[in-house]
Amino acid sequence: MITVPYASTPDAGVPVHDNSISALLPPIEAMLGDAMDRMHDAEYYGGLLDELKRLHARLRVHYAADQMIDGKSDTANTAPEFAREQNRLRAEHTVMLGTLDRVIRAGESMVDRTIEDKEVFFARIREFIATTRRHEAEEDRLFYLSVWRDTGGES
């Protein structure tokens, strides 16, 4: 069994029980910090792919839960002024999962690729992390605006 030094452990700064999307990003970012020194190391790519697959699985669960609440589309519970933005964010889910899936598939053969291909691979991961952080921030903003409205804020 290969030990992954960047796995989500208390030593890595991420509690083992914290499986939130934002908690899964720092271990990947830590691994990207070593990318240039370990770009020919098959074990490195195995560990990186394990972290990316963990993120992919967590995103699938998150997106599935977002789609259906109490057996019906969550959009039915959204104030009309937020529905358009919520639908836009929901549409991004499929694109984001597809992007991460392509990154993971590319990573499976990355150890044998050119340096340029590896640099593009690492850039795609960084871009995905940035997109994920932006997306999560927009979802959080929409959630808090909805709660504010529901509790007597602006009517």
| H or E, element range at 78 | none
Dist CA 89 CA 141 (whole Å): 12
pLDDT in tens, 4-60: 333 444 444 544 446 689 999 999 999 999 999 999 999 999 999 999 999 999 999
Which has the higher per-residue pLDDT, 127 or 152?
A: 127
pTM beyond 0.85: no
DSSP SS3 for 84: helix
Residue 99: predicted pLDDT = 97
